Amino acid sequence: MFVPLETLLPFAALCLGLVLTPGPNMIYLMSRSLSQGWRAGAVSLIGTVMGFMVFVLCAALGLTAVAFAVPLAYDAIKFAGAAYLMWLAWQSLKPGGASVFTTGTLTPAGARKLVAMGLFTNLLNPKVALFYIALLPQFVDPAHGNLFAQYVVLGFVQISISAAVNFLFILSAGAMSRFLARHPLWLLVQRYVMGVVLGALAVRLALDRR
């Protein structure tokens, strides 16, 4: 086994925590589902998964090692990611802030465009790039054997969790949006919880000294 269970379990928990925090992928998929229906959201998710595969391949081929080889590059990525997470936190916590479940209307698009938009939204997502550059390598250990295989296994775990959670959000987007519209207190709680989680992740990332 390339990745032991004691590594997989905390890694899976980290993946779950990250996918539950709002970012460009979740916002786009929720917007598409609310605007064009869950099927359009599901097709967009295919593009998102393709983007994850590109990141996994880059990580497995060792491209993320460049960031660790050049401390200045790693620090730049780390602080840029922390600043981005803090900005997302502020969007939730500021007076009149936005919730991921109150997204704007998108123009209907065909299947090919939906996949392409899902792909590029993910490839340009700093939260995902940061995860593969700064976090995933910390769960790879040369003592466990083939590094390429470890990256592939961990990438598969991350993609599976992200795809499953996002698909559940897509299916329930309309119901959640209507529920929160009828219960503004829950919408406020959701905003503040997400804002605090994002802020905590930003601080933890900024203080990381690896």
**DSSP class of 21:** S
Model pLDDT, residue 5: 84
pLDDT number for residue 67 = 55
Neighbours of 85 (CB within 10 A): 25
In this structure, is the dihedral angle defined by the CA atoms of residues 172, 121, 74 and 145, taken in order, positive or negative? positive
The confidence score (pLDDT) of residue 101 equals 55
Q: pLDDT, tens digit, for every residue of 33-86?
A: 888 888 999 999 999 999 999 999 888 887 655 555 566 666 776 777 677 777
pLDDT at 115: 94
- From residue 77, how far is each of 58, 104, 140, 206 by CA, in Å? 16, 30, 20, 10
Question: Is the pLDDT score of 14 beyond 80?
Answer: yes
Would you state the torsion angle of the CA atoms of residues 139, 143, 146, 149, taken in this order, to the nearest 10 degrees? -30
* Arithmetic mean of pLDDT over the chain: 79
Q: How confident is the model at residue 108 (pLDDT cuts 50, 70, 90)?
A: confident
To the nearest whole percent, how much of the chain has pLDDT over 70? 78
Q: Which amino acid is at 50?
A: M
pLDDT tens profile 54-66: 999 888 887 655 5
Q: Is residue 38 a contact partner of residue 173, using CB atoms and an 8 Å limit?
A: yes
With tokens 């590059």, the residue in question is 73
Q: How many CB atoms lie within 10 A of CB 178?
A: 11
Between CA 100 and CA 108 the distance in angstroms is: 19
Residue 184 has pLDDT above 80, yes or no: no
pLDDT at 28: 84
- 95 pLDDT above the threshold of 60: yes
The average pLDDT across 145-161 equals 90
Q: What is the pTM of this model?
A: 0.72
DSSP 131: I
Calculate the alpha carbon distances from 32 to 35, 40, 107, 120, 206 in Å: 5, 7, 9, 14, 32
Average pLDDT over residues 16-31: 81
